Amino acid sequence: MRLDPAVHDALARWAADELRSTNAQIEFLLRKALADAGRMPRGAARMRRPGRPRKNETAPKDEDQDENQGGG
């Protein structure tokens, strides 16, 4: 995503204030805008909670990593 550097810096500061990564802040804001406009897809997964997953939660599988380990 291309952003004006000043806009990116403002988002990064806002994210830090809310203890989120810049990426998570952008996703949070996009989801809020979609929901407010009545455009959030029904099948959209919920945002992952901040911090480490609990022991009983499974981490999402990194498919790219599996594909790169196949050798060949």
Range with lowest mean pLDDT among 5-19, 41-55, 56-70 = 56-70
Spatial distance between the Cα atoms of 41 and 35, rounded to a whole number of angstroms: 9
Render pLDDT for 13-24 as a digit per residue (tens, 0 to 9).
Answer: 999 999 999 999
Model confidence at 64, pLDDT cuts 50, 70, 90, reads very low
Nearest to 60 by CA among 45, 40, 70: 45
Residue 27 CA from chain centroid, whole number: 5
Residue 71 has pLDDT above 60, yes or no: no
* Other beta carbons within 10 Å of 72: 2
Identify residue 29 by its one-letter amino acid code: L
